[in-house]
């Protein structure tokens, strides 16, 4: 049982490049979400999903796309990276109706 895994751990991009941050969980959780963490601002919700084929926007969705084709995976796509997207990104998952969310180890992204 690996829990929530994220790849890569670190990534450096140039402005305008695209990339996908991977998130996977092996706990059969229905709910998955993406947060970004910036100094002094806590964690802010980007997108979330309550099940395969269902996604919705959080507090800061602009510049990010998500899809949920399987229960296990919830990738986050940056189509054209901007320096403002430099941040640490965390994926989290939980059972619907249960309170505890499990966070992955994070991906540190730098956009030059």
Partner 1 sequence: QQQVKQSPQSLIVQKGGISIINCAYENTAFDYFPWYQQFPGKGPALLIAIRPDVSEKKEGRFTISFNKSAKQFSLHIMDSQPGDSATYFCAAGTGSARQLTFGSGTQLTVLP
Report the interface residues with partner 1, using CB under 8 A: 4, 31, 33, 35, 40-45, 48, 50, 58-59, 90, 92, 94, 96-97, 99-101, 103-106
Instruction: Supply the minimum distance, in Å, between the C-beta of residue 102 and partner 1.
Output: 8
Question: What is the CA angle 40-43-44, rounded to 5?
Answer: 110
Nearer to partner 1, 17 or 27 (CB): 27
**In the 3-class helix/strand/coil scheme, how is 49-90 assigned residue by residue?**
EEECCEEEECCCCCCEEECCCCCCECCEEECCCCHHHCEEEE
Instruction: Supply the minimum distance, in Å, between the C-beta of residue 83 and partner 1.
Output: 22
Nearer to partner 1, 17 or 22 (CB): 22
Nearer to partner 1, 17 or 95 (CB): 95
Instruction: Supply the minimum distance, in Å, between the C-beta of residue 15 and partner 1.
Output: 26
Q: Which residues of 14-26 are buried (b: 16+ CB within 10 A; e: fewer)?
A: eeeeebebbbbbe
Tokens of 10: 């670190």
Tokens of 20: 């996908």
Nearer to partner 1, 17 or 30 (CB): 30
Instruction: Supply the minimum distance, in Å, between the C-beta of residue 53 and partner 1.
Output: 15
């Amino acid at each position: 049982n690996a829990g929530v895994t994220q790849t890569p751990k670190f990534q450096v991009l140039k402005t305008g490049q695209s990339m996908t941050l991977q998130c996977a969980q092996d706990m059969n959780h229905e709910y998955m979400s993406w947060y970004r963490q910036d100094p002094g601002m806590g964690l802010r919700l980007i997108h979330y999903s309550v099940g395969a084929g269902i996604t919705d926007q959080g507090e800061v969705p602009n510049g990010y796309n998500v899809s949920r084709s399987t229960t296990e995976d919830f990738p986050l796509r940056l189509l054209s990276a901007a320096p403002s997207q430099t941040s640490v990104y965390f994926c989290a998952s939980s059972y619907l109706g249960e309170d505890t969310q499990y966070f992955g180890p994070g991906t540190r992204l730098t956009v030059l």
